[in-house]
């Protein structure tokens, strides 16, 4: 509760008192030697702290990539865990500089509430999880169900749309924090738990008996998730956007975390040479050093490295990449980075 | 040299007082103007939407418990009303039970019976010293865990069902001809009020008592059932039925409401008990002794002598507890009870992003509720004042 109060107070104070001066985040960040990255309160595979308080996940790695690009060091980041409800307020109030917390890109968020989306690092869609012993195999059988979900997400709107479109009744049970949703679902308060499918896969690992639950095949919405920055600071948005693009392009050209040193030393491909920072001077336009993209790949990895490490099939989250929209466009996915030149 | 008329004017205390007050007032107005102006400018600069147009837009989300008709095509203003009513409901029920339980434990703690006094003391000290949020979680998950799944519901007479989705009750449907029953019901209530007034007056005049309570209770209940029978029971009950996942039809009490009201009233009752104890102890012992010496029974001593005097001490801090309970009800968000904070300062705020307007409205509501409660309690306190005779 205190976090919310702080966030709201922070917003009110900053909007009420501090004069508008939010350009120059990049300079401020360079001066102070770190930046604040807003993450979730624990979604395995996306942003999750271990027992020592070290954060990891694909959302965390976006922030690490930004840090690597700016400082040549992936760990100049302070992580601020936020609930879904607090996240935009925290960003608007300047408590965080980048919000990388499985946040869906929508028109109203982009246009109305002073946010700028810097790209998409995970293409997701909303789904439903049910108990296996309920015998349900399709979301169309959910008429009359109690549905657990959490507050402040597009999820609430999508489920209203879904049940309305299919003329089905339901009872929404909306919690403020994800952990309480999981708890209440586990205790049997709801017949189904709905959120983004990646979130379902991640939260399932927290249930008492993960194998007793199954995610239904239907995907009821488009959820492009990505990092967000404040509107009105183009330079900073560029740094975040191109840090993400560099990770995706590095994969397209076969530059991985493990081969980046050797490949860069002997490459003759001009695109790879630019990504390695040996040609083209791409850093100047972003006010970064020329090795920015090399640092991202060598310190954090390309998109594929990051995906397989945190949410791939060999992790507890276990989301297959092949055949999903998150595959590179070369493999039939929709991941496609504009050229870094 | 005599002081001039001008210096007389300047050093006049009233003139100086007005002068300084005018300065303070203009500073305050300037400050408010600056804040409002700056807020508007900053919101523009950051591309934040502003204004109250959103209140007329379709909300597009659902709410789990609504006291009025509501659907995703209703407006944000409707969502505001739904949240407000849910907050009022939980605060109203909470205040009712907290008062009863609080008075009971306050009086118990002063009991001369060691066991009763210790039970009350333990209750008060334990409940009062555990954070409310924890208690809410405790009751919520305790309630959820204790109750069975819908298919294994606990049944009473095949019409009342209890499971972890809530308590399902038959919903009375009044068909035509039932309006007579309601008119008669209200008429008997009015008659009973007259009976109370008449019996009180007669007692003051002649000293003869009249069992007004029993007579009017019998009148109300008797006439109600007599009219039901006379009109041929024009009431049908919609009985909840298990269909698919949940019970359909009938009335429903969700477990969130039960857990929240329970936690709020238990918690506030512990504080009210202490307020009551303080009030009773503030009545001097001589009053009790005098009452006993004129031969009043123990119950009457408490009801006629001690409580009326104690109320003067009790009411102001009791008002505080009522206000606390109302404000604490905003912890509902933690356990998914759709109160004003969860629905409006939660979902609606997230979907519109208009933090300033929405938080402003919510603060306004709590301010209004608090002031309104205070006014009611102050009026009540006036009737409790020492009567000058």
d(CA B13, CA A269): 89
Contact A175 B334 (CB under 8 A): yes
A212 touches chain B (CB under 8 A): no
Residue A91 belongs to a domain with what CATH number? 3.40.190.10
Residue A186 lies in a domain: yes
A300 close to A64: Cβ distance less than 8 angstroms:
yes
Å between A115 CA and nearest CA of chain B:
8
pLDDT of residue B370: 92
- Tokens matching residue B298: 């123990």
User: Considering the domain B76-170+239-383 in this protein, what is its CATH number?
Assistant: 1.10.3720.10
- Taking the whole predicted model, whether its pTM rises above 0.90 is answered as no
| Residue A72 shares a structural domain with residue A193 | no
Contact B353 A180 (CB under 8 A): no
Contact A157 B165 (CB under 8 A): no
Phi then psi dihedrals of residue A33, to 5 deg: 85, 5
Å between A278 CA and nearest CA of chain B:
38
Q: Across all residues in chain B, what is the average pLDDT?
A: 87
Domain boundaries, chain B: 5-45, 76-170+239-383
Residues in chain B: 389
A180 touches chain B (CB under 8 A): yes
Residue A341 lies in a domain: no
Give how far Cα A292 sits from Cα of A140, A233, A255, B40, Å: 48, 20, 14, 39
Query: What ipTM score was computed for the predicted complex, to two decimals?
Result: 0.76
d(CA A291, CA A299): 12
Partner-chain residue, chosen from A17, A160, A173, that has the shortest CB–CB distance to B336: A173
CB pairs under 8 A between A and B: 148
Query: Where is the domain boundary, A197, A217, A237?
Result: A217
Contact B62 A163 (CB under 8 A): yes
Å between A268 CA and nearest CA of chain B:
45
Contact A187 B334 (CB under 8 A): no
Contact B35 A17 (CB under 8 A): yes
| Residue A109 shares a structural domain with residue A240 | yes
pLDDT of residue A46: 93
Per-residue pLDDT at B24 exceeds 60 = yes
Residues from chain A contacting residue B164 (CB–CB below 8 Å)? 187-189
State the Cα angle at B185 between B179 and B187, rounded to 5°. Answer: 105
- Tokens matching residue A340: 């870094």
Count H helices, E strands: chain B? Answer: 14, 8
Range 22-41 of B in CB contact (< 8 A) with A: 35, 38-39, 41
Contact A17 B336 (CB under 8 A): no
A89 touches chain B (CB under 8 A): yes
A316 touches chain B (CB under 8 A): no
d(CA A322, CA A126): 19
d(CA A184, CA A7): 26
A84 touches chain B (CB under 8 A): yes
Strands B160-163 vs A98-104: parallel, antiparallel or unpaired: unpaired
Q: What is the DSSP letter of A204?
A: H
State the Cα angle at B171 between B66 and B144, rounded to 5°. Answer: 60
Residues from chain A contacting residue B43 (CB–CB below 8 Å)? 15
**Residue ranges in chain A modelled with pLDDT below 50:** 1-2, 17-21
Contact A183 B48 (CB under 8 A): no
pLDDT of residue B212: 80
Residues from chain A contacting residue B71 (CB–CB below 8 Å)? 164
d(CA A39, CA A41): 7
Give the nearest chain A residue to B59 (CA atoms): A157
d(CA A62, CA A226): 9
A230 touches chain B (CB under 8 A): yes
State the Cα angle at B28 between B27 and B33, rounded to 5°. Answer: 95
Phi then psi dihedrals of residue A230, to 5 deg: -70, 145
- Tell me the pLDDT tens digit for each residue of B307-353: 888 988 899 899 999 999 999 999 998 899 999 999 999 889 888 88
d(CA A231, CA A221): 26
A21 touches chain B (CB under 8 A): no
| Residue A39 shares a structural domain with residue A148 | no
Partner-chain residue, chosen from A20, A114, A157, that has the shortest CB–CB distance to B61: A157
Residue A336 lies in a domain: no
d(CA A308, CA A319): 9
Strands A126-131 vs B251-253: parallel, antiparallel or unpaired: unpaired
| Residue A114 shares a structural domain with residue A231 | yes
Å between A265 CA and nearest CA of chain B:
45
- Tell me the pLDDT tens digit for each residue of A173-188: 999 888 889 989 998 8
Longest dimension (CA), chain A: 63
C-beta neighbour count of B374 within 10 angstroms: 15
pLDDT of residue A10: 54
Å between A94 CA and nearest CA of chain B:
12
Q: Strand pairing partners for A195?
A: A127
Give how far Cα A38 sits from Cα of A70, A88, A96, Å: 18, 10, 6
Give Cβ neighbours of residue B196 (< 8 Å, ≥ 6 apart): B212, B216
Longest dimension (CA), chain B: 102
Q: Strand pairing partners for B238?
A: B171
| Residue A139 shares a structural domain with residue A229 | no
Query: Where is the domain boundary, A189, A217, A245?
Result: A217
Domain span including residue A173: 126-217
pLDDT of residue B1: 56
Task: Indicate the SS3 state at residue B356.
Answer: helix
Element (H, E) at B305: none
Domains identified in chain A, total number: 2
Residues from chain B contacting residue A151 (CB–CB below 8 Å)? 333, 342, 346-347, 350
d(CA B235, CA B237): 7
B131 touches chain A (CB under 8 A): no
Query: Where is the domain boundary, A217, A233, A261?
Result: A217
DSSP per-residue codes, A300-313: T--HHHHHHHHTST
B330 touches chain A (CB under 8 A): no
Contact A152 B347 (CB under 8 A): yes
pLDDT of residue A119: 94
| Residue A106 shares a structural domain with residue A148 | no
| Residue A230 shares a structural domain with residue A101 | yes
| Residue A16 shares a structural domain with residue A118 | yes
Å between A172 CA and nearest CA of chain B:
5
| Helices (H), ranges, chain A | 2-16, 25-32, 58-71, 87-92, 107-112, 154-165, 178-186, 197-204, 234-252, 260-266, 270-275, 283-286, 292-299, 303-310
State the Cα angle at B95 between B90 and B97, rounded to 5°. Answer: 95
A188 touches chain B (CB under 8 A): yes
Task: Indicate the SS3 state at residue A222.
Answer: coil
Q: What is the DSSP letter of A129?
A: E
pLDDT of residue B389: 55
Mutate to test the interface with B, among A15, A134, A149 (most CBs of B within 10 A): A15
Residues from chain B contacting residue A174 (CB–CB below 8 Å)? 64, 336, 338, 342, 346-347
A88 close to A269: Cβ distance less than 8 angstroms:
no
Range 51-90 of B in CB contact (< 8 A) with A: 60-64, 71-72
d(CA B211, CA B214): 6
Residues in chain A: 341
Residue A337 lies in a domain: no
Element (H, E) at A210: none
Contact A156 B342 (CB under 8 A): no
| Residue A141 shares a structural domain with residue A274 | no
Contact B334 A151 (CB under 8 A): no
| Residue A193 shares a structural domain with residue A310 | no
| Residue A119 shares a structural domain with residue A246 | yes
A200 close to A215: Cβ distance less than 8 angstroms:
yes
Å between A157 CA and nearest CA of chain B:
5
Residues from chain A contacting residue B149 (CB–CB below 8 Å)? 188
Partner-chain residue, chosen from A17, A164, A184, that has the shortest CB–CB distance to B336: A184
- Tokens matching residue B260: 């929240």
Residue A339 lies in a domain: no
d(CA B87, CA B260): 11
| Residue A50 shares a structural domain with residue A187 | no
B151 touches chain A (CB under 8 A): no
Element (H, E) at B32: helix B13-45
């Amino acid at each position: 509760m205190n976090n919310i109060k702080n966030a709201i107070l922070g917003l009110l104070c900053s909007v009420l008192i501090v004069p508008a001066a939010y350009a120059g985040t990049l300079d401020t960040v360079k001066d102070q030697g770190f930046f604040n990255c807003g993450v979730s309160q624990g979604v395995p595979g996306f942003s999750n702290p271990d027992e020592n308080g070290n954060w990891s996940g694909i959302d965390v790695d976006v922030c690490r990539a930004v840090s690597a690009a700016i400082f040549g060091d992936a760990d100049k980041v302070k992580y601020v865990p936020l609930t879904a409800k607090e996240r935009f307020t925290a960003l608007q109030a300047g408590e965080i500089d980048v919000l990388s917390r499985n946040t869906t890109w929508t028109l109203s968020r982009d246009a109305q509430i002073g946010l700028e989306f810097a790209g998409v690092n995970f293409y997701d869609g909303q789904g439903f999880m049910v108990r296996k012993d309920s015998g349900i195999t399709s979301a169309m059988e959910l008429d009359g169900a109690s549905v657990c979900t959490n507050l402040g997400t597009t999820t609430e709107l999508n489920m209203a749309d879904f049940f309305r479109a299919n003329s089905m009744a339901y009872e929404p049970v909306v919690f403020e924090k994800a952990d309480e949703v999981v708890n209440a679902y586990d205790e049997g308060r709801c017949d189904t738990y709905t959120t983004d499918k990646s979130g379902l896969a991640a939260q399932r690992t927290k249930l008492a008996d993960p194998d007793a639950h199954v995610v239904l095949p239907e995907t009821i919405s488009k959820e492009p998730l990505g990092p967000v920055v404040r509107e009105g600071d183009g330079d900073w948005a560029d740094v975040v956007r191109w840090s993400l693009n560099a990770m995706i392009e590095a994969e397209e050209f076969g530059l991985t975390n493990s081969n980046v040193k050797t490949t860069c030393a002997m490459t003759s491909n001009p695109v790879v040479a630019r990504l390695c920072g040996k040609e083209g001077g791409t850093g100047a336009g972003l006010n970064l050093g020329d090795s920015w993209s090399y640092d991202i790949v060598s310190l954090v990895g390309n998109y594929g490295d990051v995906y397989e490490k945190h949410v791939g099939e060999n992790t507890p989250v276990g989301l297959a990449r092949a055949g999903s929209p998150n595959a590179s466009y070369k493999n039939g996915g929709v991941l496609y980075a504009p050229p870094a030149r | 040299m005599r002081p001039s008329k001008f210096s007389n004017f300047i050093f006049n205390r009233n003139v100086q007082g007005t002068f300084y007050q005018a300065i303070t007032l203009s500073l305050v107005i300037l400050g408010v103007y600056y804040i409002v102006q700056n807020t508007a400018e900053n919101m523009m600069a950051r591309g934040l939407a502003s204004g109250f147009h959103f209140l007329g837009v379709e909300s597009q989300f659902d709410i789990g418990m609504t006291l009025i008709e509501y659907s995703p095509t209703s407006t944000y203003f409707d969502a505001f009303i739904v949240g407000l009513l849910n907050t009022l409901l939980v605060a109203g029920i909470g205040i009712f039970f907290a008062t009863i339980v609080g008075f009971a434990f306050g009086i118990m703690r002063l009991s001369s019976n060691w066991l009763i006094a210790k039970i009350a003391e333990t209750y008060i000290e334990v409940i009062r010293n555990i954070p409310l949020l924890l208690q809410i979680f405790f009751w919520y998950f305790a309630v959820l865990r204790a109750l069975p799944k819908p298919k294994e519901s606990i049944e009473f007479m095949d019409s009342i069902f209890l499971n972890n989705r809530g308590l399902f009750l038959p919903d009375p449907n009044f068909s035509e001809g039932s309006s007579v029953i309601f008119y008669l019901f209200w008429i008997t209530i009015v008659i009973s009020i007259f009976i109370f007034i008449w019996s009180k007056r007669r007692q003051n005049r002649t000293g003869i008592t009249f069992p007004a309570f029993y007579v009017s209770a019998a009148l109300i209940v008797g006439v109600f059932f007599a009219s039901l029978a006379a009109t041929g029971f024009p009431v049908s009950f919609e009985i909840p039925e298990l269909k698919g996942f949940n019970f359909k039809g009938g009335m429903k009490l969700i477990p969130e409401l039960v857990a929240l009201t329970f936690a709020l009233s238990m918690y506030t009752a512990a504080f009210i008990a202490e307020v009551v104890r303080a009030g009773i102890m503030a009545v001097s012992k001589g009053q009790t002794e005098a009452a006993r010496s004129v031969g009043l029974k123990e119950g009457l001593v408490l009801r006629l002598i001690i409580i009326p005097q104690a109320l003067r001490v009790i009411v102001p801090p009791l008002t505080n507890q009522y206000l606390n309970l109302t404000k604490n009800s905003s912890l509902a968000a933690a356990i998914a009870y759709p109160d004003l904070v969860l629905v409006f300062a939660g979902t609606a705020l997230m979907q519109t992003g208009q933090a300033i307007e929405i938080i402003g409205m919510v603060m306004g509501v709590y301010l209004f509720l608090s002031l309104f409660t205070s006014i009611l309690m102050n009026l009540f306190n006036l009737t409790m004042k020492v009567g000058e005779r």
